[in-house]
Structure 1
Amino acid sequence: MSKPSDSYRILHTADWHLGKTLEGQTREDEHDLFLAWLLDRVSELEVDAVLVAGDVFDSGMPPQTAVHRYFEFVSKLRERGECKLVVIGGNHDSANQLEAPVPVLECLGARVDGRVKEDPKERILLLPDSEKPRVAVAMVPFLRDADIRKGRAGETPDEIRKSLAEGIKKKYEECAQALDGLSCPALATGHLTVTGMRSSDSERAIIGGLGDVSHKVFPERFGYVALGHLHRPQSPDEGRARYSGSPIPLSFSEAKDEKEVRILDVAPDGIQDFSVSIPQFRNLVQLKVSFDELEARIKEFSEDTADLTTWVEVVVEGAVFGDELSSRVRELAEGKDFEILKVVRVKAENEEGGAVLAEGEDYEFVLDHPDQVFERLLDQKEVTDQAERERLKVLFGQVVGLVEQAEGGAE
């Protein structure tokens, strides 16, 4: 779509998760292909600013290859002209790590906020500059528990949820008030969970799942809210607030998702947006079979590959523990034009019992889903009283929140 003559064009993306692995396999090739594609779209679509709504990296201590890849993108983006880079921190990012190179990044036309600024006026970024602003951007990175409330001993789950929601809402209201006197359109950023949205297996629960908010927390002053955290492209309010989603499928549960970036055309009379589809650089496939049909399904399975070799997760129902299932599946797939990355055994419908971790799940699942693992532990320990379960889940959620604060470099 051609760029309107009176618009300032912003590209909204999020959740790159540089440094991410899948079952021990690097995603570097996919990230390289995506970033090269993104740079080409910046030139082709005449983008004025690239906005990354959190989770640039997959962890607070990313590998050096991931850090290099990020800085290389920043450098190449600058070479393309005057395109700005706007970045907020996500729950996987370290605020300290993101902000350490800020003096250098500012010289390259980048604004990076790893943590929320105390003064609401300092959260407002004016683009292309403060002399003749065409759009105001409210910079609201991932909000940790300590950023938005003071906990009290003996709080109930409902009280915690309420105080978190009120704290998040207040941050956005402060940003809207800081816009007083500005006539240009405004958009907000955020890295959080809006209720009613579809999640995937690769998203880490935020503050034990207690920090979900309604889309109504975003003041009407913002014509668009650029969101990160959820990896599927979606909108909680039919368009004004949007998740761009991750650029590559980060887990097999996202295998069928259509990935995209959003293009915002900011004109004096408002903001229009549309999607641009991202090519699928590698196909991820979930193959669900019964144990009895396993051999036939593997032999007949064929997948048209993309630029890179297709990765497959095989989910087998009805196999017995000790069947050496993983070895059997990999033997059947030898010589095929795809690679078996994961084999998961699931219980048959009439099978009882269960473990905290199912066969085929590993440390990556624990890191991304501590709440689900804890829920299974409660089942295993036969904690059936709902009030007690809720109390333990809240305590566990608070521990998760403290860990995420430490990972994010909160002071």
Structure 2
Amino acid sequence: MRILHTSDWHLGRMLEGRSRIEEQIKFIDELCLLVEDEGIDLVLIAGDIFDTVNPPAIAEELFYDALNRLTAGGTRGVVAVAGNHDNPERLCAASPLAVRQGITLYGLPKDVLTPSFPGYSPEGRVVRKAAGQGWVELQIPKCPDPVILTLLPYPSESRLNEVLNSSLDEESLRQDYSKRVQELFALFGQAFRPEAVNLAMSHLFVRGGMQSESERPIQLGSAPTVEVEAMPAGAQYVALGHLHRAQVVKGTLVPTRYSGSPLAYSFSETGYAKSVVLIEAFPGKPVETHEIFLSSGYPLVKWQAKEGLAQVQRWIDEGRDSQAWIDLEVHVTNVINPQDIHSLRRQRERLINIRPVFPETEQITSEARSKLPLDELFRKFYQDKTGGAEPDQELVSMFLSLIDQDKADSKRNVSANLDCIGESAGKEAETA
């Protein structure tokens, strides 16, 4: 049986306000072509299909189009679980229709799946032969052996509807949480049989996994890390979602992997290779896994222009990283003119951030500062706040005039206060 493991599509997600839908469409196209070329029998989607619980219509449309193409008219199995960014009920709303196309959508950890309706055994199509809480058995065309999957969607306390530990001690909570996940895997894994291909899938954070900045926590109730010992020992392969960096989970008894996200979703992922995992499985035998790299996403790169705006312009003219999203750090001596910023963005559409880096300004002691003329003191202050930019003379003059006005107001206030004090003292003397 040939299985493909993917996760963390985050359909609808943006990069600093810029739409990624074009790249996500290209990814779906690449994925659908890949499953055809590789003769995939079963596709596993390990959560975070959407980026928010209320995704835009175009993201939902893309997901349903992907399901329709991946299942190939019900001849290929597709199984998806909800991640922490997904709305479990919304994800599974189409389940009554999906199951007839060989698609299993599973939202909450304690949901109960049901077999295909009685008498449903169409020739050459995926059939859900048996199912229950946290597991499903599929018969897939061209595969002589059934596949049994234990499924654990994102298991936060709120989605489990359980309070696992009332203590505020983080270590105690983590231990109880990990133990509960292990118990659920063991319970669901009772469905495993020696004559079947036995797999597990979940969306969680296993201790020791390498994170990136693009994994934004969205949860109700705590969801700490899970120990490697919690992974189901009876499975031949454990497909995980949640971490965006593709990686093997070390220390587990069975092969356990994060497929990672198909696109880089933050500049912390600069240089990450994006991929999916191909698994070849037979009952009772160790699986073979192969990482297949993707090419549909635009790279995220960081530019450091130490020679200033002229260097940036030269890179643009040369066509450097023409298809990339760019995070720009440019060394300058003065504040960048808004017209220059507009010109750069007009020339390079995917220029996301423009961060000026100013030379370090001279630091002066409090004693030395007290001896500086007011205009020079203001210039130092302005340079500190703007990264070394020089204020124009009009601004300096305006500051000095405000100081003079403040001094004049202070003198008038002091004089008025003295008059009031003198008047009060006179009245008290008369009374006495």
Using the size of structure 1 for normalisation, the TM-score is 0.73
- The residue that corresponds to 1:272 in the other structure is 288
Separation (CA, whole Å) in 1 of partners of 2:362 and 2:46: 43
- 2:213 is paired with a residue whose SS is coil
Which among 132, 144, 149 is matched to residue 137 of structure 1? 149
Check the 8 A contact 2:75/2:140 in 1, yes or no: no
How far apart, CA to CA, are the structure 2 residues paired with 1:30 and 1:58?
Answer: 15
Summarize the alignment of residues 121-160 of structure 1 with structure 2, pairs less than 5 Å apart: 121-128=132-139, 133-146=145-158, 147=160, 149-150=162-163, 153-160=166-173
Contact 1:86/1:112 (8 A) holds in 2: yes
Equivalence map 1:236-385=2 (5 Å): 236-237=249-250, 240-268=255-283, 269-289=285-305, 293-302=307-316, 305=321, 309-315=323-329, 323=335, 327=338, 330-331=341-342, 333=344, 336-337=347-348, 339-344=350-355
Corresponding residue to 2:87 among 72, 88, 94: 94
1:295 and 1:140 map into 2 onto residues whose CA distance is: 51
Partner amino acid, structure 1, of 2:258:
Y
Residue 165 of structure 1 is matched in structure 2 by 178
Matched residue of 2:265: which SS? Answer: coil
Counterpart of 1:198 in structure 2 is 210
Displacement of 1:221 after TM fit? 1.1
Flag the 1:78–1:157 CA change in 2: closer, same or farther, 3 A: closer
Asked which structure has the greater CA Rg, the reply is 2
Structure 1 residues 279 and 154: alpha-carbon distance in aligned structure 2, compared to 1, 3 A threshold: closer
1:41 offset after TM fit, Å? 0.9
Q: CA deviation at 1:337?
A: 4.8
CA–CA distance in structure 2, aligned partners of residues 61 and 340 of structure 1: 28
Structure 1 residue matching 2:181: 3-state secondary structure: helix
Structure 1, 109-118 or 72-81: larger mean CA deviation: 72-81
Deviation larger for 226-235 or 204-213 = 204-213
Query: Given the superposition, is the C-alpha separation of residues 211 and 71 from structure 1 closer, same or farther in structure 2, using an over 3 Å criterion?
Result: same
* Larger RCO (CA under 8 A, 6+ residues apart): 1
Distance 1:193 1:257 in 2: 19
- Offset of residue 183 of structure 1: 3.1
Q: Distance in 1 between matches of 2:163 and 2:243?
A: 26
What letter matches 1:243 in structure 2? Y
Per the alignment, in what secondary structure is the counterpart of residue 137 of structure 1?
strand
2:40 alignment partner AA:
V
Deviations 1:258-291 (A, max 9, x none): 111111111132321111110143122122456x
CA shift for structure 1 position 128: 2.3
How far the C-alpha of 1:114 sits from its partner, in A, is 1.0
Q: CA deviation at 1:32?
A: 0.8
User: What percentage of residue pairs aligned between the two structures are identical?
Assistant: 28
The separation in 1 between residues aligned to 2:207 and 2:359, in whole angstroms, is 32
1:312, 1:342 within 8 Å by CA — same for their partners in 2? yes
SS at match of 2:324: strand
Q: In 1, distance between residues paired with 2:358 and 2:208?
A: 29
Q: State the shift of 1:211 in Å.
A: 1.0
> Displacement of 1:178 after TM fit?
3.3
Equivalent residue pairs, number: 337
CA distance in 2, matches of 1:87, 1:235: 20
Shift of 1:129: 5.6
Distance 1:236 1:172, change over 3 A: same
Cα displacement (A) at 1:219: 2.7
Cα 1:44–1:317 change in 2 (3 A) is: same
Task: State the 1:192 CA deviation.
Answer: 0.9
Could you tell me which residue of structure 1 aligns to residue 422 of structure 2? none
Q: Which sits farther off after the overlay, 37-46 or 263-272? A: 263-272
CA contact (8 A) 1:185 1:270 kept: no
Instruction: Tell me the CA shift for residue 101 of structure 1.
Output: 1.1
Q: Please state how far the C-alpha of 1:107 moved relative to its aligned partner.
A: 1.6
1:199 aligned partner, one-letter code: Q
**Corresponding residue for 1:4?**
none
| Residues 204 and 319 of structure 1, relative CA distance in 2, 3 Å threshold | farther
The CA distance in 2 between the partners of 1:139 and 1:16, in whole Å, is 18
Distance between the aligned counterparts of 2:187 and 2:49, measured in 1?
A: 26
**What is the Cα-based RMSD across aligned positions, in Å?**
3.2
Q: After TM superposition, list the pairs within 5 Å mapping 1:2-81 onto structure 2.
A: 8-79=1-72
Residue 108 of structure 1 and its aligned partner are, at CA, apart by 1.7
Q: Is contact 1:59–1:93 with CA below 8 Å preserved after alignment? A: yes
Secondary structure of the corresponding residue to residue 37 of structure 1 = helix
Q: Normalised by the size of structure 2, how large is the TM-score?
A: 0.70
- Inter-partner Cα distance in structure 1 for 2:152 and 2:19: 30
What residue in structure 2 maps to residue 104 of structure 1? 97
1:74–1:108: 8 Å Cα contact kept in structure 2? no
Any gaps of 5 or more consecutive residues in structure 2?
113-130, 364-432
